[in-house]
């Protein structure tokens, strides 16, 4: 194994990387995936939740044969995922002949740049006025970049304690980071990606205990799994719990270091961990195979979870190929428009928001807020692109579906020396 803290700096409005200089075009391609691009700084020891982070640091990448382990710190927890090491991957893809395997699906074994935009939002906060509605007369490229203020809107607080659907999870970095912040995340991708990398990455970050602790903690799981309403799981002091099937063998926990953040949150329409979840950080994570191009109901029956029972959606670098774009939109619309079986709740939920009071203290207040999809991507399409989706087409098609689109974050991302537009959109049902 060899470990390297990768060289990067952060500048306002743009992520800048000082890359290695490969000797050939082939080496340049391999360098693009084998060296993690820390387009944002990630701090292993978390700062106060109300502070915006602006400290130069970097993820740590460890090369381990056919895979590269990438470790980041979020909310006082360490998250480590494995991605494919292309330098050691010259053989035939073992999943090539799987029925669900596609070129788009093969990207799930790699780590893409928009993940760092989501991690920035989970660590930072922006005023509501900074989330600007897209408009043809004011294209996103012309929007002012978010400036730093005392936070009034915080994605970490928004997701904490709520069910989150992570679409096209890939290696799972964004979804696991949201779980570390207290969300109950259902990470989804094609079956080949789930089996090849996603489940292993979730288990790599699960919290476990010694065998002697299993019986007592299992009882705590059964007692508390129905009452999870905040980002911190209700567990015995000093322990974390697996939150899947409380009666299943092997459900274990381990002592978690550091003090768990406790705060009041109001559950959304659907609260608590997903079936089969394990504890990750202050939240939980479960994995389910989900193919956007196939009917949803059979997949719900097979997977044991209904992805529509989510308060929020995360989608990170999932829409850059035209052939899966409309299938992706179908899933997003199905989730945002889904009504509970009771038919009582509307497409909104009482969700918490972080507010700064006149006395300078931060308090969480329940407010009426729509269910939303947070869509992060880095544009790869040129003007005449036939294969990739341009950001203008994404926004226009979302609006054509009766969805509102707000720009949460607009920043250029350096991709192998080329500045490309990075966006995080908040997508909601139109009023």
What is the average pLDDT across 116-134?
67
Residue 219: pLDDT band with limits 50, 70, 90 = very low
Residue 385: pLDDT band with limits 50, 70, 90 = low
Going along the chain from its start, the domains and CATH numbers come out as 2-429 (3.40.50.150)
What is the average pLDDT across 26-54?
35
Does residue 344 carry a pLDDT above 90? no
Residue 154 and residue 152: Cα distance in Å, rounded?
7
Alpha helix positions (H), 124-243: 155-159, 173-180, 191-193, 199-204, 214-224
The whole-number pLDDT of residue 86 equals: 60
85 and 1 Cβ atoms separated by less than 8 Å: no
- Interior angle at CA 331, CA 334 and CA 191, nearest 5: 135
Q: DSSP string spanning 67-128?
A: EEEEEEEETTEEEEEEEE-GGG--S--TTTTSTT--HHHHGGGS--THHHHHHHHHH-B--G
Residue 145 and residue 211: Cα distance in Å, rounded?
51
Q: What is the pLDDT of residues 70-104, one digit of tens each?
A: 888 998 889 998 887 766 555 555 544 455 545 55
> Of 320, 380, 315, 307, which is closest to residue 104 (Cα–Cα)?
320
Residue 300 and residue 164: Cα distance in Å, rounded?
16
pTM of the model: 0.66
Highest mean pLDDT among 22-31, 71-80, 313-322: 71-80
The whole-number pLDDT of residue 162 equals: 96
């Amino acid at each position: 194994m060899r470990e390297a803290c990768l060289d990067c700096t952060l500048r306002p409005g743009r992520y800048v990387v000082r890359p290695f200089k490969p000797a050939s075009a082939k080496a340049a391609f391999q360098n693009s995936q084998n060296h993690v691009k820390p387009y944002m700084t990630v701090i292993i020891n978390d700062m106060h939740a109300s502070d915006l982070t602006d400290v130069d640091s970097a993820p740590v990448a460890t090369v381990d044969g056919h895979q590269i382990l990438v470790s980041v710190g979020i909310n006082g927890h360490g998250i480590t995922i494995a991605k494919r090491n292309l330098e050691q991957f010259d053989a035939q893809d073992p999943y090539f002949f799987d029925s669900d395997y596609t070129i788009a699906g093969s990207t799930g074994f790699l780590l893409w740049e928009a993940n760092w935009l989501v991690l920035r939002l989970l660590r930072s906060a922006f005023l509501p006025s900074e989330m600007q509605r897209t408009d043809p007369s004011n294209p996103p490229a012309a929007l002012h970049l978010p400036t730093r203020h005392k936070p009034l809107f915080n994605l970490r607080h928004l997701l904490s304690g709520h069910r989150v659907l992570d679409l096209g999870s890939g290696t799972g970095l964004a979804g696991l980071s949201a779980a570390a912040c207290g969300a109950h995340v259902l990470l989804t991708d094609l079956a080949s990606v789930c089996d090849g990398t996603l489940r292993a990455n979730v288990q790599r970050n699960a919290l476990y205990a010694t065998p002697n602790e299993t019986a007592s903690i299992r009882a705590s799981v059964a007692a508390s799994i129905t009452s999870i309403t905040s980002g911190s799981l209700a567990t015995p002091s000093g322990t974390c719990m697996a939150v899947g099937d409380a009666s299943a063998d092997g459900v274990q926990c381990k002592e978690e270091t550091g003090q768990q953040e406790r705060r009041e949150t109001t559950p959304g329409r659907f609260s608590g961990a997903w079936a089969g979840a394990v504890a990750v950080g202050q939240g939980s994570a479960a994995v389910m195979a989900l193919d956007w191009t196939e009917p949803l109901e059979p997949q719900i029956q097979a997977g044991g979870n209904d992805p529509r029972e989510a308060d929020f959606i995360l989608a990170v670098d999932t829409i850059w190929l035209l052939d899966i774009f409309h299938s992706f939109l179908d899933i997003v619309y199905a989730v945002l428009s889904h009504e509970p079986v009771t038919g009582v709740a509307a497409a909104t939920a009482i969700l918490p928001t972080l507010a700064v009071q006149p006395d300078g203290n931060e308090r969480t207040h329940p407010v009426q807020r729509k269910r939303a999809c947070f869509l992060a991507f880095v544009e790869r399409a040129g003007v005449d692109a036939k294969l990739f989706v341009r950001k203008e087409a994404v926004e226009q098609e979302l609006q054509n579906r009766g969805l509102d689109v707000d720009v949460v974050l607009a920043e250029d991302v350096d991709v192998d020396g080329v500045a490309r537009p990075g966006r995080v959109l908040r997508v909601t049902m139109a009023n």
